[in-house]
Amino acid sequence: MNMTMVEDGIGLSEQCSREGARILTQVLADQHVLQQKLHNYHWNVRGPHFTELHRLFERQYEVLGKTIDEVAERIRQLGYPAPGTMTEFLQLTNLTEYPGDYPNANVMVGNILEDHELLVRRIRWELIAEEHCGLDDGTADLLVSVMRAHEKLAWMMRATLSVAGEGTSRPETDLSETEHPEYFQYHSGG
């Protein structure tokens, strides 16, 4: 069996390394855009929950900083360059930015929640799709770890949305069908 190796030196085929780097590059771009959005919201949040949200956004961008570094280093381990400019990240991302928009705190939390959920779904989809193409164990393990981090960060945002309220008296259970329908449809198997 003749397998072409890239200069990674870790024994992966060129196709396997290339596919892992492709997936990780997408995740890296999405995480950078999300981290920048968290910084923006950390700096610009206002309202009665300012202190808690200011801290929450900061904790989340700190967590992302660690996973971003791990993802970029794995891309390098696979023998490929890791993108490192906002221009590249904006070209590669699946996330949406809102330049010049400084929404209220609930919208900020909702936007961050949607981004975490999108990352979780995308990573899960890539892992399922790659089961048949032989994604290497190291990359798959890292992706599972990153996915779990985003699941936890999404859970924190979801819990924050259910109590922040800003003047709403809607019961917590109403959130499922109105504000994040794709999340609840996805998780209910629909």
* pLDDT in the model for residue 128: 81
CB 71 within 8 A of CB 27: yes
Q: Is 184:113 a contact under the CB 8 Å cutoff?
A: no
pLDDT for 133 equals 62
The Cα 46–Cα 102 span in angstroms is: 10
The tens place of each residue's pLDDT in the chain, 190 residues long, gives: 333 444 556 778 888 888 999 999 999 999 999 999 999 999 999 999 999 999 999 999 999 999 999 999 999 999 999 999 999 999 999 999 999 999 999 999 999 999 999 999 999 998 887 665 668 889 999 999 999 999 999 999 999 988 654 433 333 333 333 344 443 343 344 4
Q: What is the pLDDT of residue 168?
A: 36
Residue 151 contacts by C-beta under 8 Å, 6 or more apart in sequence? 116, 120
> Distance between CA 75 and CA 22 in Å, rounded?
9
Hey, what are 190's tokens?
A: 């629909």
CA distance 18 to 112: 30
Specify the pTM. Answer: 0.79
Q: Where are the domains of the chain?
A: 14-164+174-187
Which superfamily, per CATH, for 14-164+174-187? Ferritin, core subunit, four-helix bundle (1.20.1260.10)
Are 47 and 102 within 8 A, CB to CB? no
What integer pLDDT is reported at residue 126 of this predicted model?
Answer: 87
Give 179's contacts (C-beta < 8 A, 6+ positions apart).
110, 161
